[in-house]
Amino acid sequence: MNSPGTSDAPHGRRSQRRSALRNYWQSVTEGLEIQQLWGQMKADARATYSFYSHDVDWEAMSTGKRWKRPFRIAWALFQAMLMKLTPARRVLLLLACVLLFFQMKFRWGNDQYSFELGGIGTAILFLLLALELADRVTMKRDLEIAREIQHWLVPERPPSVPGVDIAFATRPQNTVAGDYYDAFLRPGPEGHAGQSLLMVVADVAGKSVPAALLMATFQASIHSLAMRPGTLDELARDLNHYACDHSLSGMRFTTAFLAEYDPSSKRIRYVNAGHNAPFLRHPSGVIERLSEGDVPFGIQSSANYRSESVTIETGDLLVIFTDGLAEAVNGAGEEYGEPRIQASVEAFTHESAASVLSVLMGGVDAFVGPARQHDDITCMGVRFL
């Protein structure tokens, strides 16, 4: 006769196994739902196809017999993927592909035997995956260190300036970014005893590590140059000269928006160096675009940057952003666009700078959905109290 509870033991073990499987699935998926996972897979597939398709001669693909084109395209994409590997790994991949479909046959006496080599091909593919994953993890670790260094270059919190509420929001496309934002106090204009607030948002051409390195040099130069006495016009010209010396003949230019706020006069002087024109929303609801300026830094050493001036009212809202916000693309290939940004800015009345950026970033997230981010996104919100 079974003791009480003995019949419940198998049920308890099954329950533990199911719980262990659920926990494992949660750790693998990081709690994402199936729909979210599917959306990520589709976004990854589109991004991967776009990455490899750049190496395909599509004009050549359009010639020849129509029924052969899918096979030629598949072969061209395979070749593009193959050539991204090191020579030794190319050989391993080709060997694995051959073994996956290779069957060895031999005779022993009157009997014929066959031996499938697909298992060996699969093992080689797993080896290739492990090698590429090790490279990726190593690179990711190095990029994480680079990201920490980048965080040291931008402010964790804005400076404390009476009557000014500032907030930042940034999201790199990759681990490191070419976008830059800053706000710090510098010596005021000539004839003023106090300090002025310098606000900067910049975007180095390109992405990832090369852009991040130039962003670091831009940060160092602006902090060095801004501490010297001089006008905003002179600061912009000095930055341009420095950028031209490090722009690889104009290939690595930098768009930037510089704004200097003088609390004593309630005025802003600004220079727009080829950057997206910020929105200045007045309490009346009128939107002003701050677009006056010249070409991006690093293109033309003789560019003559002249600042413009605008009077600030209590309740004004200034929203500065990089092109990654306006050019964010959803799964259908549609851009978010500046009209959507302006519509959001028009709706703000008295919200804090942090709340404004939260709404802006949330709006672009909802629009893009699971589509992969194509560029760095950076915003600065300034509410004048």
Where along the chain do its domains lie?
Answer: 13-147, 156-384
CA distance 173 to 373: 6
Res. 111 pLDDT band, cuts 50 70 90:
low
Binned at pLDDT 50, 70 and 90, residue 382 comes out as very high
Q: Which CATH superfamily is domain 156-384 in?
A: PPM-type phosphatase domain (3.60.40.10)
**How far apart, in whole angstroms, are the C-alpha atoms of residue 283 and residue 279?**
13
Chain-centroid distance of CA 179 in Å reads 9
282 exposed, middle or buried (CB, 10 Å; 0-12, 13-18, 19+)? middle
CA distance 279 to 25: 46
List for the chain the helix, strand, coil content (%; round to 5). 45, 20, 35
CA atoms of 321 and 344, how far apart (whole Å): 13
Distance CA 210, CA 255 (A): 16
In 10 A of CB 157, how many CB atoms? Answer: 9
pTM of full prediction above 0.85:
no
194-250 pLDDT tens trace: 789 999 999 988 777 777 788 888 888 899 899 888 899 999 999 998 888 876 665
Give the range among 303-307, 309-313, 329-333, 348-352 with minimum mean pLDDT.
329-333
Encoded amino acid at 225, one letter: L
If you ran DSSP here, which 8-state letter would residue 190 be given? Answer: T
pLDDT for residue 270? 95
Contact present, 271 and 231 (Cβ < 8 Å): no
Long-range CB pairs of 218-221 (<8 Å, 24+ gap) are: 218/180, 218/243, 218/254, 218/256, 219/153, 219/154, 219/180, 219/182
- DSSP codes of every residue in 208-273: HHHHHHHHHHHHHHHHHHHTSS--HHHHHHHHHHHHHHTSTTTTT-EEEEEEEEETTTTEEEEEEE
Which residue's entry shows tokens 């996104």?
A: 377
Task: Give the DSSP per-residue string, 47-94.
Answer: HHHHHHHTTS-HHHHTSS-GGGHHHHHHHHHHHHHHTTS-HHHHHHHH
| Phi, psi dihedrals of residue 185, rounded to the nearest 5° | -85, 140
Tokens of 28: 């693998």
CB 267 within 8 A of CB 309: yes
The arithmetic mean of pLDDT across residues 339-361, rounded, is 94
Is residue 193 very low, low, confident or very high in pLDDT (cuts 50, 70, 90)? low
SS (H, E, C) 312-362: CCCCCEEEEECHHHHCCECCCCCECCHHHHHHHHHHCCCCCHHHHHHHHHH
